C-alpha cells in the first residue's frame, strides 16, 4: 500500500504534467487509466493528432533515481494496458507513442518516444 506521501507526490506530479500538456496544446483523453495489466498515468492527444501514453515520475527533495530505468521496468505492463485501451476504444489505426514526463519541485521534463 502506498504511503500518504507517495500518493501526494504522485497527485502533485500528475497535476503538473497535465497542466504542462494543456499549455502545449495537448488534449487530455484519460487520466489514471487502469486495466488488469497495468495503469497509464495520462493518455493525451498531441497537437500532431497522435495519441500519447504518458508515464509520470515525480521526484521531490533528494529521492531522485533514473526515471528511464524505472520506466523501462514498467514498459511490458504499459504496453499491455495500451493494447487494451486501443481495443476498447477501437483506435488501433492511429499513430501512438509512449512518453514520460519527469516532474520535480521546480522543473518538468518531457521525454518523447521512450
The pTM score is 0.86
b (16+ CB within 10 A) / e for 39-70: ebbbbbbbeeeebbbbbbbbbeeeeeeebeee
Domain of residue 95, CATH code: 3.40.1350.10
In the chain, the number of structural domains is: 1
User: What is the mean pLDDT, run by run of 10 residues, along the chain of 114 residues?
Assistant: 55 94 98 94 96 90 65 88 92 88 88 90
Single out the residue of 106, 17, 113 nearest to residue 57, CA to CA. 17
| pLDDT at 2 (0 to 100) | 53
> For the segment 85-112, what is each residue's pLDDT rounded down to a tens digit?
999 998 777 899 999 999 988 889 899 9
Question: Can you give the residue range of the structural domain that contains 106?
Answer: 4-111
Calculate Rg over the CA atoms of the chain: 14
Amino acid at each position: 500500500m502506498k504511503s500518504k506521501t507517495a500518493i501526494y507526490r504522485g497527485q502533485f506530479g500528475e497535476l503538473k504534467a497535465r497542466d504542462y500538456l494543456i499549455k502545449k496544446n495537448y488534449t487530455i483523453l484519460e487520466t489514471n487509466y487502469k486495466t488488469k495489466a497495468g495503469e497509464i498515468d495520462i493518455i493525451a492527444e498531441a497537437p500532431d493528432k497522435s495519441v500519447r501514453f504518458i508515464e509520470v515520475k515525480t521526484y521531490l527533495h533528494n529521492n531522485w533515481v533514473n526515471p528511464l530505468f524505472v520506466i523501462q521496468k514498467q514498459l511490458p505492463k504499459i504496453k499491455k494496458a495500451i493494447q487494451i485501451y486501443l481495443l476498447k476504444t477501437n483506435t488501433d489505426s492511429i499513430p501512438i507513442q509512449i512518453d514520460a514526463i519527469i516532474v520535480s519541485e521546480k522543473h518538468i521534463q518531457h521525454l518523447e518516444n521512450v
